[in-house]
Amino acid sequence: MSLASVADIIKGVIPVGEIASVNGWVRTRRDSKAGISFLAIYDGSCFDPIQAVIENTLENYQSDVLSLTAGCSVKITGKVVESMGKGQSFEIQATKVEIYGLVEDPDTYPMSAKRHSIEYLREVAHLRPRTNIIGAVARVRNTLSQAIHRFYNEEGYLWVSTPILTGSDCEGAGEMFRVSTLDFENLPLTDDGKVDFNEDFFGKETFLTVSGQLNAETYACALSKVYTFGPTFRAENSNTTRHLAEFWMVEPEIAFADLADAANLAEKMLKYVFAAVLAERPDDMAFFAQRVDKECITRLENMVERDFVRMDYTDAIEILKNCDKKFDFPVEWGVDLQSEHERYLAEVHVGGPVILQNYPKDIKAFYMRLNDDGKTVAAMDVLAPGIGEIIGGAQREERLDVLDRRMKEMNIEPEDMWWYRDLRRYGTVPHAGFGLGFERLVSYVTGVQNIRDVIPFPRAPRSANF
């Protein structure tokens, strides 16, 4: 007699004939007047529910079993048997049904066994993990994050926890959320009438981080191979299917490495985690392929097999200028690529993910390494069909004089970056890294198109519920 997960029984871990108990929730109940009821029980351990067969000779059959509806929580005890019916290999022949909690009004229980729109589910984010689709997303998301940690561990990278609160306002990646303990109704002022942040908790202005990169660089310039995996915050007023105000980012940083090393690492990492999902979550992926995105499995299989295409920005511009497609935004060397351009390159020209490299320096950040041509920097973006930029990275400028010049061009005070500059003053090394948007990865893998559905509780402009 043991406590089993639904996955244990479905996978045959529990031997036939053994008595086991399962804790879980009812998805459906079907009654047969032959004198039995069938319960589909799920507990999150795998996609499929386990079928429990309940005979009407059970003492609480009339009083309890017949009142079970979708969402009720139960403990089923009984013998694991090979199923007499079609559709499942094993089932549990119940000898005992215990109820933890009933659904107080089945008519208004927000989660019916029938289909719901993904937008509706977002309004009941506290109950949506009970659905097939969000449960599957949660398991794939977990598999991806475990695989990421496993990959970097096997490759000899250290996981570095970079700060979430930061006093550095030139991280440069976007608008920041202010963090303060000041009384907004009664702000302390300096003599010239400005807010006196010396009175604030940290004695200076502080924000939520928009990237762990600069901190990660310090550890890479000592421990050689590191990565961060943590939450990131952007106060941009972005209302799209691929932006969140709070999202998770994976940022590896490698010392003694150049742009090609970073691109190779990105390709190897993506292939590793895609293979992990295919191997570990075939049940959930089959559901996505059936109900969400027909191509999602073959897409991953292809990406594991094929080499990623690498392309220089300059060549991409030529391709876009010479192709038949008319774009809304004109293409010229020096312009930042628009969504329509990136989509064309990934979806039409390459037909798969493409690594774009060596962008004009004027459209990229100050820390990216200036190439010998003096016009471009060693930056790269991994563009995925349907999603766009999934990874953005660069070789970092390790030459102090060039870095200082670039900061001046972009109106960044070198004194504010004194500790970042120290890395270049004391034993500088070439190094490179990138940032992977974790939710974009989950979205790409599952085919679930809106990023708000691949994170449990999405935060976006005017939206911070639950």
Partner RNA sequence: UCCCCGAUAGUUCAGUUGGUAGAACGCCGGACUGUUAAUCCGUAUGUCGCUGGUUCGAGUCCAGCUCGGGGAGCCA
Residues 209-228 that bind RNA (CB under 7 A): 211
Gap between the Cα atoms of 118 and 415, Å rounded? 49
Q: Are 160 and 216 in contact (CB under 8 A)?
A: yes
The answer for residues whose C-beta is within 8 angstroms of residue 372's C-beta and 6 or more apart is none
Per-residue interface string for the shown chain with RNA, residues 341-380, x marking contact by CB under 7 A? --x-------------------------------------
Tell me which of 89, 98, 120, 418 binds RNA, using CB under 7 A. 120
> Does the footprint of RNA cover residue 449 (CB under 7 A)?
yes
Nearer to RNA by Cβ, of 168 and 211: the residue is 211
For 87, 148, 421, the CA distances from 154, given in Å and listed in that order, are 39, 10, 31
164 binds RNA (CB under 7 A): no
Where in 175-214 is the site for RNA (CB under 7 A)?
A: 211
CA dist., res. 112 & res. 162, Å (int):
42
State yes or no: residue 91 binds RNA (CB under 7 A).
Answer: yes
Question: Taken in order 351, 310, 333, 410, is the CA torsion positive or negative?
Answer: positive
- Cβ neighbors of 32 (< 8 A, separation 6 or more) are 38
Q: How far is the CB of 64 from RNA (least distance, A)?
A: 13
Cβ 233 to RNA shortest distance, Å: 9
Least distance CB 459 / RNA (angstroms): 10
Contact positions with RNA (CB under 7 A) in 24-53:
28, 30-34, 36, 38, 40, 51, 53
User: Which of 31, 24, 21 minimizes the C-alpha distance to 53?
Assistant: 31
Binding flag, residue 334, RNA (CB under 7 A): no
Q: Kindly report the number of other CB atoms within 10 A of residue 203's CB atom.
A: 10
Backbone angles phi, psi at 136, to 5 degrees: -65, -40
Cα 134 from chain centre: 13
Q: How far is the CB of 367 from RNA (least distance, A)?
A: 11
Q: How far is the CB of 237 from RNA (least distance, A)?
A: 4
Tokens of residue 344, six digits? 């064309």
Interface residue with RNA among 128, 234, 361, 396 (CB under 7 A) is 234
Q: Which stretch in 263-271, 297-305, 306-314, 385-393 sits in contact with RNA by CB under 7 A?
A: 385-393
Residue 231 interacts with RNA (CB under 7 A): yes or no? no
**Which residues lie below 8 Å from residue 420, measured CB to CB, with a gap of 6+?**
214, 217, 218, 367
Q: How far is the CB of 107 from RNA (least distance, A)?
A: 3
Footprint on residues 394-433 left by RNA (CB under 7 A): none
